[in-house]
Structures are given as structure tokens and as C-alpha cells.
Structure 1
């Protein structure tokens, strides 16, 4: 049934009026709220809690610290493969293309920059400050954004209505000066439409930067590791190195569908071995070549480095920043571990190992100034060269795997919050919920990785592109954490500004350097960000506009009540689940349906799926129910709540039916309370589960039991007759008066994305044999 234009609608709801047809009990009475499920469905127990409260034993923390080594530090751990080779001052060439030997002072200056950059950003900023800004134990850009959304009137999901803003979970206390300052910042964000859109844009850009990292990390890591073959065999051509790298990348992406559950246990030992090896080789090089290299801890060498090199020194920051690639993983992968575990593994293992590796390479360079381009492999003692080549390749593959998995996770979060076209999500592990595989994203990443590796063919060129997205994510994290310090933590303004200005200045300095490399392939990640940001914002904007249209065209409750208990049609046995994005009111699809079908099922449930800005919703709080109209209508409203890390319910029908039966029993008990209160003038008597607890007469108890049992039998009979899922198949079109840009975004770009994305029935896991789609055309 496809309409060419909208049908005429019955009278619309007055948003300021009550809904006389929706009842929380069988007694007919008007509701005191505009909507019966909007507010309740937008909050869960503990929703206002902002930080992780994992209470783990010391043994468990130690075990998690070991496991985190394999998941979190693969990217930053493989940076010694290419940092010195990517630093401009150390890797200059003359007019004939020959490398110019690096100055000892420049080697010390670059090492000093690496030491303090590693100390300030991964260790101090991320490990000891940013990790605290988690969202109930979850980290990453969307976790920060959802935390801000819950403490300000900022909506992410389209079906979070304006009434959500007044929930207690979103409010701040105002007893102190920091709290008042937090309230002012909150009000500023709420009142400024520009700031709300800017915050959303920043969150989307941060997400797209992670996707860009998912392309560049496998390319540079695998190519750097495989380049070790050429160091041992100089006669080997670069074509062979690139070919082997491309082959490894293709195999890596092809095995993603198998999941990481079986091989995950080897990640921690392999990366631990890598860290131990680079640390021991670093110690060996320090002792053998230059024990005085530790003088690079003097920050004076940074001053002399920039004074001597000026512009070239600033350009070289684009190579130094590669030493901290992967720092964001400590925060993004927090959900799998704990704050204490990551702090232990970073402070006492990863950080000192990386320092020894970089210091050892610098000591070796002090005697081999003309071999900067092959620093890592050339500095390895010959007896352990090939074992280290194998370990390095394994570490590069693991680093790539971790980044690919991170992209899957963040795309899944984006889809849950309505910011990314629907894709197929496969859970590859029955033990670990976070291990997922998204085929469409996997093949797109593989194609882009192969193109980047085969076209650039050099780690220096890929490094020029790599730094842009890395530093962009860091800058975004600093901005959001500064907001959280003021608005959520309610820290003194001086403290928050000191954090934002200090780390922001460092990261912006690095960012300015990597932007300088835009002509030298630095435009590649910007192109990735531009494309993916356009896709995400188009999808988010169009879905939100469609929701606004649904709200303004919902059906009047008076119209529904006027149809009578049979809704003006024949009622046949069965249950119809009518999916709608509206958490309140009757959707237009319902009116369209009954105008075109002569019969309707005996039980109707309006199902609204809501994604809350929280990581997870407990299963016992998943479903909320309320009756629509009198009991004779057999019509219910259902809100199904998910967090951005939740997966779907495979037993949704069973969960819904048990919730409906429980609701009917509780409803009957509530009706008894109202009857007794109205007759006795008190509410001392109560019913729990259909049984009289105190006082009252047995006749009333039997009446309530019979009423509840009769409705339960009706529900069970309806379920035995079959359940039908009713979904709208809506084509969105722009009205004629819309601008050319809006027409292009909605009519062309969104339509293309919708045609090539997963259908809503697949994403909701609706059985195709029970699916009924209602076609409509909406002009928005």
C-alpha cells in the first residue's frame, strides 16, 4: 500500500492537553501527565551516576592489567617502528636524494620531545585524568558526549522529547559556587542552538577520526613491520614489501568474521613479549653506544632544538606526535577493563618500556647518524634480528586488529544513537558482548587500507596522513573533558581551565604541525573525516526531521476513543506490534493502517524503541508498559529501552509477553487500591500480584483475580494465534518550498544511504514471515 502523498489526518493532539484515553488502571480517568510513558521511559535506576564504580579485588585488577596490554597498547606500542624515520629534522635528504647525517643535538632534542610528550599525554592526561571521565565504566567520544547530554538539555536520539529535560536524572544540585557555575554553563549550552550543534558536530568528527585511524593504523603498522625484510635484504624491491603488506592486510580483514575470541588470549602474551623485547634492546643499545643519552631528560634540549631548527623543528612535531598514537585507546577500551587496571599496566609496564625503546634507539643513532630511515631494524642486534622481525609483525597485526575492533564498536554505538546508517552487526562471541563484526564496515576498511598502502607505499608518507586524525581526537577529548570538569565534576574553574589550556596548547601545537603536512598526503584523513561526517550528519539530520514530522502529525486520542472498542473494524485473534518512534500519542501509521485494512488483531501494542544516553539498560528495566484506552480496547503502549552498548533481545516476544502479564496483574492491584481509597477514604489496603495483603474483602480479591486472569487468558490466546510486526516503510521527500541543499540532502543523499543500508526490520530482528510493512510517502 503505497501513497503518493499524505492522507488527510484526524485532529491532532494538543500538546498542552491531557490524554483522557490512556490509563494506568482499568478505572477510566484522565491522566495527569501529557504522556504516560515519555518521562518514565527516559530514565533508569542510577542514570545520574557518571563514573565507574567497579569494586574489584587486587587479583582481578592485576589480571585485567595483564589482559589490557594486548588490547590497548598495540597501537602505541608499535610506534617505535616508525617515529624517528618520520621526523623531518632527522631524516633530511640533499638535492641528490641522499640522507643527511643527523646532528647529535637534534637527536637529543627529538628524544627530549618524545620523553615529555609520552609523559604528559598518555601517562598524565589519559591515564590519570581522562580515565575518570568515564560514563559508568565506558569511555570514548560518545561516552563523553552522552555524559554531557545527561547533564544538559541536549538531545541525541530523536525520540528524546523536550519533557526529558526536566527529569531528575538530568538536573544539577545548586548548593555551592562550583555547582552554580556548572548550572550557568548548562544553561548556556541549552540556550545556544549553535553550541548544541557544535557539540554534536565535534562528537561526530571525533567518531570519524577513529574510523580514519582504523584505515591508517593497519597500513602504517603492517608496512613498517614488513619493511624489516628490506633492511636485511637491501636488493629486495619496494614492490615486494608493498605486495606482502597488502596480502597480510587482506588476510587480516578476511578473518575478522571469525571473531577474536579464540585468538584473543594470545594478544596479551604477544604484546607483552614485544614490550619486553624493545625494552631489553633499548637497554642494550644504551649500554653499548651512549650511556650519557639520559641527559635528554633535561627540557633545555627542547628549547635549543626549536631555537636551532625554527621552522624545521616545528614541522618535525608531525613525526614526534606518532609516538603517542593509540593513547585514545586507553580511554576508548575502558569498558573491557577498569581504571585501576589500565593505570597499572600503563604506569608500570607500557610507559617505561616505550621510554627505554626510544632512548635506546637515540643512543644507537648517536653512532649511526646517517641511518635514521631504518632506525628500528638497524638497531636490533643481529643474533635476534629475525625473531624480532616475527614479533614485530605479530605486534603490528595485533595493533591493527585492536583498531579495527574499535571501529566496529564505535560504529555500533553510532547506529544505536541514530547517527549512522543501519548495518548488519554480528556478535562473534557468546562470552564477551563487546566482540562484534560488521561486514559492510569491514570490507570498506579493507578496500581503503589496500588503496592507501598500495598508493603511498612508504611509512613516511602514511605517517604524514596518520597524525591528523590522531591529534584531532585528542583535541576533542580535551575540550569535552574540560566541559565535564566544570559541569559534571564541578571542579574549580581555575583547575578546569588550567587542564584545558595546558593540554590544549600542547595538542594544538602538534595539530598545527600535522596540518602543515596536508599537501604531503595529510589531506587523506581529512577526506575520510569529510565523507564519513557527511554520511553521519545526513542520516542524523534526516531522521530527526522525520521524527519532528511524526510528532506534528500524530493522531488525536479523542479520535481513537471515538472509534469504539472495536476501533471501527473487525478484530481477529492475534497480537499486532506496531512500531513507532513516538514515545507518546498515536502514530499516523496506525490511522493509515486501519483506513486501508478491514480487520485488525485483537491485541495491539504500540512499540517505541528508545536508545538512552547510557551504556546499558538492565534487562529488568528493559520494557515499560501502559494501557491505551479502556481495557475493552486491548491496546497497550510499550517502551523498549536500550543503551548505546546494548545488543538486541533475541527472546523479545517472550520478554514482552511476560511483561504484559505482569503489567495486567499489577494493574489489577492498583485498581483495587483506588477503589478502597475512594470508599474508605484511605489506602491502607493494598494488593500485590493479585493477592490481598492487608484488610479488604475476599469478594474484591476474587473480582480482581478474575479480571486479571481473564485478560491474561486473552493475551495468551492472542499469542497462540500469532504475532505480527507492523512497520512503516516510509519514503521521505522534501516539500517544494525547501532549499536546493535540503532537497539534495534528503531526496538524494539520504535516499541513497537508505537504499544501501540495512532495513529497519533487519536491525530490529523482526521475523520476515511475521512482517507487515505499511508504505507511505512523507513530505517534510
Structure 2
């Protein structure tokens, strides 16, 4: 091959590979992201009251509404506009919130002025922070705007959780009810006794829908632990077959019952519906909005897949097939208004297709809930990163796609709530009313936040932002009012769920803020620690002491309280702070900020670990080793680093996640390696990093301690640097201790009821969290918890 053509060949092969991956991912998306949209025909017309569907004209008008709602909201708003507002590949309500936090400075994360000086090292939004505008200044100036935007983000997250509870119950119960009606029709067809028909129909109605729905729901939630990728491969073929089946049946119904139904997509019919609006017609819109159920999940599930694959799957497959399905069902309904249960999808199936429909509808209904469940997992993870949700364990199910997660505690809670809804309501109309309210509220929040994104992040004209808000907001407010008319018929359940979840989120945020404020007010200066050592007669014991604190400047109050009563701390002291910043991911090269407290002789360091709301923040097993390596890198580059950031208290240097070819400390597993005697250094008793070691036979199941050694070029280091690194190695060999502050919030006497209630909820959730504050697999024997009472 001509060498000049080789780069083009490699480029073409890479391009083909990317397209193959995109097509493969688009196939997975059909079963994960678009399951809810694909199964919406099971209950859109089915949740409408039969007495409200009085003539074929209103069926035509409703079909026109469904077509334009799918086109305007799902296709135009989400596919062409909202998906472009991703936050570095992440979507959802908190992705929009994080963009606003970075570009309009409306974030309410725990921070102070000195924290900003430390945390915002090399953190700038790409070319978006340069421009200043009147709207940006107004929003940044008024604190009430900050709280309102945070409330909207939490409100939208609560709606996603509500959808994850209600949608599985609605879709599965709708399919089970369709099965019951199909079986009843079959019994009537083959039985000649009217009494037998009635008794069998009653038995089927009693024993088929709810028990079968509950069994399917349990199976669905049990499958979540396998992860999005495996579930996508399992579910995608079923949803694809389901879509093809209902679209083919839709085409059949169009030509068999009413071929002119295609002309009814004209907006004229939608305007006729509005011109003759009354209470009965208005409440029908609460069912129409269900046709776009799952559109919000397109954006929320963006972290699981790519933007291109989501767009291709919807435009080329989902959208046209759904239009054919709804058109066929409307054509059947317009000519069968006097048939029993004519508004259910199962009734529009030809008699020779009903057995196939029973099987596919049960399978597809279970899969249809997958989009809201995965979206719920993503939203809760983002809330956790921003301290707006009780700590729960997060399991990452993919090594390559970090957005694919599974949260066991949330999964089982969703299952219990869905089963409660199914057993409690037993009526798809009531569940549909609550689901419609959740869907439209989530969409309205996205519309409001997107209008701010257009103005503040995309920096478009304020008129364009207002047009987006008015155009989509007007349509969604109309649907919202229709859903509120059904508040007493099932939608009240969503209100209860909203109050509970919003209370938990607000209390977590409020408690975290108050605890952080207390820590800021009661922290002591680094000068105090340095000056207290000789005054209190503090002794230094061998080993490393890790102090986990939320403050990034000064000494936390709980540690000063500890050394005042027990005047001793370790030979090496490391203050570790985890700080979430409003970005999805922090690059490994920008994750650690390392600084020194006091003179070199004191061996006191500060490490700030920065992570985004989608990062694997604290659950890595080798976290302690990464901290020690980072401090080693800091020691080796401290004098030569010219881009260090200096705060009023200490110097901080940005250190990436060290690799095996570190210039300071090289890790090795004492169980995996044994050093040859000739290679051992006389000074450190550990040989430099080289090839002079061999693999030893060890027991594979026993986790060994990772040790460190100096690199092969250690003799060329400065003497002071080499000595400090050796002291760090010696301290590591002596063992580690971990100090955690346990702050107990207590409300002052005379505080108002709201404050007392929020703190009470916060203390309850904090006490019953399933994960510790620092999930680092800390051994209990080395853990020291220092309790303090925080009076607020």
C-alpha cells in the first residue's frame, strides 16, 4: 500500500467503526430509552373516559393533537433542541442546572470565598464566561433567583422519580388489562352460555390484571442489576418487534376502517377541538400528553448513550412507526364507537393477531418502564453528588460507559412503590392521571431551564429565549391545567410523592449547608495548629493520619477538639476534602489539588479531591494509595512548579492521578512482588523501580497492602526531596489512621417549625443512610470518629 494513502485508509476504518458502534448503540436504545414511548399506545386512548368520546369527529381531533404533540414536543423540542444542551455528554435536569451554575454563578453548593480561590483552579467554561449581559448580572445579583433555579432542578428530579414509580405500574397494568379483555372475548366466542361468559369474565377481571402485573413488575426490577448494556441487548429485539407489529396492524386498520385518517393530522382539527373546548374535552388532554411519555427520558438517559444514536433511533424508527400505530387505532375507534372497550389498543387488533398481541404487549409493557428507571438512577446519582439526596450505594455496571449505573436501594424502593400503586388503584385511568401530571411537570421544568440556557449559556438573543419559553411553555401549561383537573382522581398520589421526595431533598441540602456553615465558623487557623504543638506538648507518633473534612482552608473544629484533649497526632498528617464541582467529569490530570500546611518539618499536607456529578467519586479501593502518590508528586515538583496557585494560607498545586511511571513514588503489591536481595537499597530497604523483581506464589483471594518505593532515578533527586519522600514511605509502613468528624445538628431553642422539621428529617436520613460519609473501605480498627454538637 502506498504510504501516502495509509492515513486515509486508517481514517476510513475508524469512521466505519464509529458508525458501527453508533448503529449498535441505536439498537440498544430502542429497548432502554424508547421503551416508554413505544408502549404509550397501550394507555393513551385507554385512559380516556368512554363517555367523553361521543363521535368520530372528536376522535379525529384527538388524533391531530397526538400527532402535533409528538411532533412539537418529542421531535422538535427534545430531539432537535434540548439534546444539544448536553453537559459534556450528560443530560437531565441537573445537567442543565450545572451549566447554569458555571455560566451564571447561581450554584448553591457549600463554599466560601477562600474555597472558590482553591476550587476554581483552571476551571473555566469554554469561551462562555467572557460575555456579560444584563440578564446574567440580574440573576447573579438576586439570591432568590439562585434558590428558585435550585428548586426547579429538585422539582424536575422529583418528577423523574415519580415517573419511575408510576410508569411501570401504568404500562404493565394496561397490558394485563388488555390480556384480560382478549381472553374474555375468546371465551365469549367459544362459549354459548351467557351465565358462563359473565362468571368467567368476572373471574378473569379479578385474577388476571393485578396479579400478573405485580409478577411482571417484580421480574422487571430484578433484572435491573444486570446493567443497561445487557438489558438493552435483551430488551431491544422485543421492542423492535413490538413497534413493527403495532405499526403493521396500524397500516391494516387505516386501509380497512378509515383510509382518510391520514388527512386528519391537519392542525385544523386541533383548532376545532380548542374552539369547542369544555370541561369534558379539556380533561381529555390529560390523556393525550401520555403520548410523549418518555421524551424526558431521551435527555435524562443521555449519559448512557450518545446523542447521535438517540437522534437516529427516534427520527428513523420510533417516530414514524408510532404515528402509524396511533393513526390505525384512531381509524378503528372512529368506526366502532359503540363496541365495548373500543378505546383500548387490544380491541383494535384483528382477531387472528390477538394471541401475538397478548404475548408482545406483556413483554413490551415491562420493557417500556426501563427508560424511566434508568433515568431515575441517573438523576439520583447527580443529586447525590450535589448533597441533595441521602447516601446510597451506586454500582457502575459498565467499565467503558460511566453513566450506566444501578442503585440497589432505589431499585427496590421503586419496586415497592410501583406494586403499591398497582394494588391500591387497580385502575389505569387514575394511574394515567398521575403519570400525565408527572410528565408535563418535568417537561415544563426543562422548558424553563432551557430558556435560561439559550440566553445565558448559548448567549442568544433574549427574544429568542422568550420565544422558546412562550411557544413550548404555552402548550405545556395547557396540558398542565388539563392534568390538574384530575387531581382528585389519582393525580393526588403524585402530589404526595412530590411532597415526600422534595422534603427529603431540601432537608439534605439544608442540613449539609448548615453543617458546612458551622464548620466554617468554628474552624481554626493553620497558625493555631503550628503554634499549639509546643504549647500543648503535642507529640508525633509514627504513621499517617488522614483527616476527612469539608473545609478546604484552615483546620476543622473536630480535629482541634481532638488534639486539645489528646495532644498527639501522626508523623505525617493529610487533610483530605472531597469537593463536587458543577461539571459531569473532572479529568484525571485535574483531580487532585495538593498543598502544604506550615513548615516542611511539620509534614502536614492538604489534599482536595475534585469530582463531577457523574464521576466515580469515592468508591475506589486504591484511593489511599492515590493520595499518597499525589503527595509524592507534589513533593517532587513543589519547587519547580511555576503555575502553582497561591491562596492567602497555603500553596496548592494541581496534580493528576499518578501513573505507574511516577517520578516520585512507585507502588507495588507486596503480595504480587518480592524483591531480590541484591536489589534492596540500604537506605530504604526497598529497591528502586526496575525490572529486578519476580512474581511470587501467593494466595489470590487475600488482599495485600500496597507499598511504595523510590523510582530508579532517585539518586539524582535533591537531597531534601529524597529525604521527605523517604519519611513519607516510612510513615506509610508504620500504618494509617483515619479521622472523621461526626457532627450532630441541634436546633436552637425558639427556632421556627420549618427549620426544626428540616433538621429532624435530615438527622433521620443521615442516621439511616446505607453508605458511610466517606466510602473508602476504611478498616474499623484504624477509624477514629470525633463527635461534635453543631448548634444552629
Normalising TM by the smaller chain, what interval?
Answer: 0.7 to 0.9
Shift of 1:291: 0.8
> How far does the alpha carbon of each residue in 1:444-492 deviate from its partner, in whole angstroms, 9 at most, with x for none?
2122111111111111111111111100010000000100101110112
Q: Which residue of 1 aligns with 2:467?
A: 498
Selected match of 1:662 from 619, 626, 633: 633
How many angstroms does 1:378 deviate by?
A: 1.3
1:215 is the counterpart of 2:165: yes
Deviation at 1:71, TM superposition (A): 1.6
- Tell whether the 8 Å contact from 1:421 to 1:757 is kept in structure 2 after alignment: yes
Does 1:767 find its partner at 2:779?
A: yes
User: What is the TM-score with the length of structure 1 in the denominator?
Assistant: 0.84
Aligned 8 A contact 1:575 1:722 in 2: yes
By how many angstroms is 1:556 displaced? Answer: 1.9
Q: Hey, what's the Cα distance between the residues in 2 that align with 1:59 and 1:331?
A: 22
> Which of 295, 319, 339 lines up with 1:327 in the alignment?
295
In 1, the alpha carbon distance for the partners of 2:446 and 2:782 equals 45
Contact preservation (8 Å) 2:224, 2:231: no
Match of 2:790 in 1: 778
Q: Pick from 745, 756, 760: which aligns with 2:758?
A: 745
Query: 2:758, 2:582 → 1: CA distance?
Result: 26
Point out the more displaced range, 339-348 or 752-761: 752-761
> Is contact 1:156–1:417 with CA below 8 Å preserved after alignment?
no
**Among residues 58, 73, 80, which one is paired with 1:128 in the alignment?**
80
| Equivalent pair of 1:666/1:689 in contact (CA under 8 Å) | no
Instruction: For 2:402 and 2:309, locate their aligned partners in 1 and report how far apart those are by CA, in whole Å.
Output: 20
Q: Supply the RMSD in Å over aligned alpha carbons.
A: 2.6
| Alignment partner, residue 150 of structure 1 | 102
Give the conservation status (yes or no) of the 8 Å contact 2:503–2:758.
Answer: no
2:101–2:582 CA contact under 8 A, matched in 1:
yes
- Mapped pair 1:559 → 2:511: no
Partner of 2:679: none
CA contact (8 A) 1:611 1:643 kept: yes
* Residue in structure 1 matched with residue 62 of structure 2 by the alignment: 110
Cα distance in 1 between the residues matched to 2:111 and 2:17: 37
Counterparts of 1:487 and 1:110, CA distance in 2: 37
| Residues 413 and 56 of structure 1: CA distance in aligned 2, closer, same or farther (over 3 Å) | farther
Deviations 1:588-645 (A, max 9, x none): 1120111122421110000000011111112232221111111100000000111111
> Tell me, what secondary structure is at the counterpart of 1:563?
helix
Q: SS where residue 476 of structure 1 aligns?
A: helix
Are the equivalent residues in 1 in contact too, given 2:301–2:374 (CA < 8 A)?
no
Q: Deviations over 1:298-320 (max 9, x none)?
A: 11111222333533221110010
The question of 1:349 aligning with 2:311 is answered no
CA apart distance, 1:261 = 4.4
Shift of 1:195: 1.1
Q: 1:432 to 1:768 in 2, by over 3 A?
A: farther
Tell which has more relative contact order, 1 or 2 (C-alpha 8 A, sep 6+). 1
Q: Quote the offset at 1:431 in angstroms.
A: 5.0
Q: Does structure 1 residue 434 correspond to structure 2 residue 403? A: yes
Between the aligned partners of 1:382 and 1:122, the Cα distance in structure 2 is 32
Please state whether the residue corresponding to 2:276 is helix, strand or coil.
helix
What are the residue-to-residue correspondences of 1:451-462 with 2, within 5 Å?
Answer: 451-462=420-431
- Is 1:336 matched up with 2:348? no
Partners of 1:151 and 1:170 within 8 A in 2: no
Counterpart position of 1:611: 580
Name the structure 2 match of 1:76.
Answer: 37
Contact 2:623 2:776 in 1 (8 A): no
Pairing 1:710–2:728 present: no
Aligned residue among 258, 271, 275 for 1:303: 271
- The offset of 1:132, in angstroms, is 0.8
Decide whether aligned partners of structure 1 residues 174 and 393 sit closer, same or farther in structure 2, where only a CA change above 3 A counts. closer
1:13-32: per-residue Cα shift (whole Å, max 9, x none)?
Answer: xxxxxxxxxxxxxxxxxxxx
- How far 1:265 sits from its partner (Å)? 1.2
SS at match of 2:371: helix
Hey, what does 1:732 align to over in structure 2?
A: 745
Structure 2, unaligned runs of 5 or more: 1-14, 185-200, 645-661, 665-713
Secondary structure of residue in 2 paired with 1:360: helix
Aligned equivalent of 2:454, options 480, 485, 489: 485
Provide Cα deviations, 1:320-369, integer angstroms capped at 9, x if missing partner: 00101110011111122222222211111110010000001011112211
Shift of 1:742: 1.5
How many residue pairs get matched?
689
C-alpha contact 1:139 1:334 (8 A) present in aligned 2: yes
Q: How far apart, in 2, do the equivalents of 1:571 and 1:125 lie?
A: 63
User: Kindly tell me: are residues 654 and 387 of structure 1, through their superposed partners in 2, closer, same or farther at Cα, counting changes over 3 Å?
Assistant: same
For each residue in 1:545-590, what CA deviation from the matched residue of structure 2 results, as whole angstroms up to 9, or x when unmatched? Answer: 1111111111022212213489842211111110000011111112
In the other structure, the counterpart of 1:444 is: 413
Provide the secondary structure at the position in 1 that maps to 2:570.
strand
Partners of 2:122 and 2:468 in 1: how far apart? 29
Alignment of 1:340-419 (within 5 A): 340-371=308-339, 372-419=341-388
Cα–Cα, structure 1 residues 482 and 523, in superposed 2: closer, same or farther, change >3 Å?
Answer: same
Q: TM-score, normalised by structure 2?
A: 0.83
Deviates more, 1:497-506 or 1:360-369: 360-369
Deviations 1:86-123 (A, max 9, x none): 234xx217xxxxxxx64111110000000100000000
Give the direction of change, closer, same or farther, for the CA distance of 1:473–1:230 in structure 2 (3 Å limit): same
Contact 1:668 1:704 in 2 (8 A): no
Cα 1:764–1:613 shift into 2, 3 Å: farther
CA distance in 2, matches of 1:194, 1:580: 29
